Amino acid sequence: MTDWIFATIDLLGPLGVGLLIALETLVPPIPSELILPLAGFRARSGAMHPLLVWLAATLGAVTGSLILYWLGARLGYERLHRLAGRRWFVLTSRRDLERGHRLFARHGSWVVAVSRCVPVLRSLVSIPAGVERMPLRRFVTLTAAGSGVWNALFIGLGWLLADRWQDVERYTAPAGTVVAVLLGAGVVLLVVRKVRQAE
């Protein structure tokens, strides 16, 4: 994967960084913790301007998030609530959905902003934001702010570490793995509970 990221960034420059981050938002296993430090390293070598790299990465994050927001909005709360009542739909129960609806109504802005700095969640949070129809301007502003901080941090680390930029991904990858495992365990628990309720 590293060679492919290298090739894309070297071929397209900041545009390649933006495209990779948009793709990472839609397909979380592509790690921004690898893309951004490499981009910072390339910027330090003079191949790209760091500000353009940061702008492209942030625009890519917003673009990918808007696609997921749109999917959530197309699904909608009412449709999801109906699906949650069916036995085969294991991702959530109606009670959990209603609890999440109340939580998002109270703290949705904080959830969106903070999740932009949490592996895996920074992608997934766009869907409930769309389901809840968070005002689009607020969603874009919070996404740009949270993603901008995340992008600046990792581009900066790549710049500072120079040819040791891969050290960033080495130390941050376990956090993404932990979040993914916890989410997976949560899905398993939802399936088990749904099956028990159907018995």
pLDDT of residue 5 exceeding 80? no
Burial 97-123 (b: 16+ CB within 10 A, else e): beebbeebeeebbebbbebbebbbbbb
Structural domain boundaries enclosing 143:
2-198
Confidence of residue 54 (pLDDT cuts 50, 70, 90): very high
Number of structural domains found in the chain: 1
Confidence of residue 169 (pLDDT cuts 50, 70, 90): low
How far is it, in rounded angstroms, from Cα 135 to Cα 117? Answer: 21
Confidence of residue 186 (pLDDT cuts 50, 70, 90): low
Tell me the pTM.
0.77
How far is it, in rounded angstroms, from Cα 145 to Cα 62? Answer: 10
Sequence-separated (6 or more) residues with CB below 8 Å from residue 177? none
How far is it, in rounded angstroms, from Cα 119 to Cα 171? Answer: 13
CA distances (Å), 170 to each of 2, 36, 166, 175, in order?
13, 13, 6, 10
Which amino acid type is present at position 162? A
Reference 66, options 150, 151, 116, 140; nearest CA is 140
**Mean predicted lDDT score pLDDT of the chain:** 79
How far is it, in rounded angstroms, from Cα 120 to Cα 182? Answer: 11
